[in-house]
């Protein structure tokens, strides 16, 4: 679709207008480049979800973006997904790949030390850079890319009671995250139970009993979510069924934003064992794969469109613009700007010898949540004049009062 045919609120249009990200054919198709402003939004999203997950008992780790091809053969991903993986790289007579997923990395971390039944559930999480080959015709702004960062996690459980509880907690986390973004369950997002096909042995691992049990675990959890869900055959992962959290973009196209998956295959393939109460080694029951905020790229695209570029204060790349009325007000304006920066509030200052009205229009055009005007009366009173993108003129306020108001709003993520 040509840019002049796009909806004005398409994230590709707004992303360019607000200078958030770009693409370069020299760098490569589907590989987004983030400006300082776009990177600020990414950083806030990543900090938000990592802090929230740690509060909820996740152990955040860091693993390499590359691994030996043997790892993905062991996990079973290679034969199923090799067409969407990048070609192997030969290093010292061994084949390596840019990773398309993190689960086998996390399994190797788990295997690095012994575990007892007291450790469970084990929740391993990571903000993971992943690389997948998307056909050129499928690339769509930030929605479908070839390099992305996934808020990924793998929860190891010893039985299906633990599995149900962890799936429920994963959905609770997703609901909380969506609530912070102003999204309502059943309205802005909904659930799909993605099932396997017992007759399709090429796409799915053959184990009818495990498929039946896994699908029932997810179905039981969804029945208690106070919202209708649909079931979709032949949409599961090769190792088990999944709950897909679905959303629609500004074009009306439905995409999967987040997933919660039940994996009955990994425990045996990787010999993910623990010492039980009786002192014997046993395999864990399952791994719950879970993405709480999805791919940063995809959720950014969705939020750009939902907010129409008018990000809430905590997410705005520029939170405050400082506007001196004339150049003789620049020194006082600089001091207030420095105070904002000291308080870790993202700010800009416009000290150009230009009409104040044009400076205010620029703040509005760039959808800055607040701007501060400083003139003679403000300097005399030791105050500043605050104006809001959403609420209009807020009048003269003490500088400390403005700082505290902004910090409270940022903290509360209103």
How many percent of the chain have pLDDT more than 70?
Answer: 98
18 and 98 inside one domain: yes
pLDDT band at 5 (very low <50, low <70, confident <90, very high): low
283 and 370 inside one domain: no
Spatial neighbors of 49 by CB under 8 A, at least 6 apart, are 127, 151, 177, 292, 293
pLDDT in tens, 219-270: 999 999 888 899 988 888 888 899 999 988 777 888 888 999 999 999 999 9
Task: Report whether pLDDT(74) > 90.
Answer: no
pLDDT in tens, 267-282: 999 999 999 999 999 9
112 and 261 inside one domain: yes
370 and 393 inside one domain: yes
140 and 173 inside one domain: yes
Is residue 135 in a domain? yes
CA distance 176 to 103: 24
Domain final residue, candidates 306, 334, 352 = 306
pLDDT for the residue numbered 151: 97
Is residue 272 in a domain? yes
204 and 352 inside one domain: no
pLDDT in tens, 197-227: 877 777 777 778 989 999 999 999 999 988 8
137 and 192 inside one domain: yes
pLDDT for the residue numbered 253: 82
Domain final residue, candidates 274, 306, 338 = 306
Do 109 and 156 meet the contact criterion of CB atoms below 8 Å apart?
Answer: no
Average pLDDT over residues 275-296: 96
CATH code for the domain of 387: 3.40.50.800
pLDDT in tens, 304-341: 999 999 999 999 999 999 999 999 999 999 999 999 99
Instruction: State the average pLDDT for the chain.
Output: 92
248 and 335 inside one domain: no
CA distance 239 to 237: 5
**The token pair that represents 253 in the structure block:** 């196209």
Average pLDDT over residues 183-193: 90
Beta-bridge partners for 273: 283
Domain final residue, candidates 273, 306, 339 = 306
Task: Report whether pLDDT(117) > 60.
Answer: yes
Is residue 97 in a domain? yes
Is residue 314 in a domain? no
CA distance 255 to 261: 16
367 and 266 inside one domain: no
141 and 27 inside one domain: yes
Is residue 163 in a domain? yes
pLDDT for the residue numbered 1: 45
111: containing domain: 3-306
284 and 385 inside one domain: no
172 and 254 inside one domain: yes
Average pLDDT over residues 342-349: 97
Q: How many independent structural domains does the chain possess?
A: 2
Beta-bridge partners for 392: 388
Is residue 311 in a domain? no
Beta-bridge partners for 242: 194, 261
Is residue 35 in a domain? yes
Is residue 391 in a domain? yes
pLDDT band at 165 (very low <50, low <70, confident <90, very high): very high
Q: How far is the CA of 7 from the CAs of 152, 253, 260, 300, 389, in angstroms? A: 31, 13, 31, 17, 22
Which segments of 198-285 are extended strands (E)? 229-232, 242-248, 254-263, 273-275, 281-283
> pTM of the predicted model, to two decimals?
0.92
Nearest partner of 32 among 192, 115, 140, 178, judged by Cα: 140
pLDDT for the residue numbered 18: 97
Average pLDDT over residues 160-175: 96
pLDDT for the residue numbered 373: 96
CATH code for the domain of 249: 3.30.930.10
CA distance 402 to 364: 19
């Amino acid at each position: 679709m040509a840019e002049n045919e796009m909806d004005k609120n398409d994230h590709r249009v707004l992303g360019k207008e607000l200078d958030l990200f770009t693409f370069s054919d020299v760098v490569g198709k589907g590989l987004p480049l983030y400006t300082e402003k776009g990177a600020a939004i990414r950083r806030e999203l990543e900090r938000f979800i990592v802090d929230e997950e740690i509060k909820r008992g996740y152990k955040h780790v860091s693993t390499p973006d590359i691994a030996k091809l043997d790892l993905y053969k062991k996990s079973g991903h290679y034969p199923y997904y090799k067409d969407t993986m990048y070609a192997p790289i030969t290093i010292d007579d061994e084949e390596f790949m840019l990773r398309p997923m993190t689960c086998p990395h996390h399994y190797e971390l788990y295997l690095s030390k012994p575990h007892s039944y007291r450790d469970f559930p084990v929740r391993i999480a990571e903000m993971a850079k992943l690389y997948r080959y998307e056909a050129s015709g499928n690339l769509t702004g930030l929605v479908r890319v070839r390099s992305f960062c996934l808020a990924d996690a793998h929860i190891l459980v010893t039985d299906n009671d633990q599995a149900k509880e962890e799936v429920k907690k994963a959905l609770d986390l997703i609901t909380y995250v969506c609530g912070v973004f102003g999204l309502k369950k059943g309205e802005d997002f909904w659930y799909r139970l993605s099932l396997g096909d017992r007759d399709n042995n090429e796409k799915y691992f053959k184990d009818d009993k495990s498929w039946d049990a896994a699908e029932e675990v997810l179905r039981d959890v969804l029945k208690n979510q106070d919202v209708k869900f649909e079931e979709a055959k032949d949409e599961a992962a090769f190792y088990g069924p999944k709950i897909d959290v679905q959303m629609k973009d500004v074009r009306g196209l439905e995409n999967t934003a987040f997933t919660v998956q039940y994996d009955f295959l990994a425990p045996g393939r990787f010999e993910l064992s623990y010492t039980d109460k009786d002192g014997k080694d046993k395999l864990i029951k399952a791994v719950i794969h879970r993405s709480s905020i999805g791919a940063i790229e995809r959720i950014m695209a969705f939020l750009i469109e939902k907010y129409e570029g008018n990000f809430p204060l905590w997410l705005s790349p520029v939170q405050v613009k400082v506007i001196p009325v004339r150049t003789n007000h620049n020194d006082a304006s600089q001091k207030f700007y420095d105070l904002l920066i000291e308080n870790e509030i993202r700010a800009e200052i416009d000290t150009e010898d230009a009409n104040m009205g044009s400076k205010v229009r620029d703040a509005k055009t760039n959808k800055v949540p607040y701007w501060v005007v400083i003139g003679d009366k403000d300097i005399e009173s030791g105050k500043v004049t605050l104006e809001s993108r959403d609420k209009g003129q807020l009048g003269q306020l003490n500088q400390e009062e403005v700082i505290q108001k902004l910090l409270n709003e940022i903290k509360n993520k209103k």
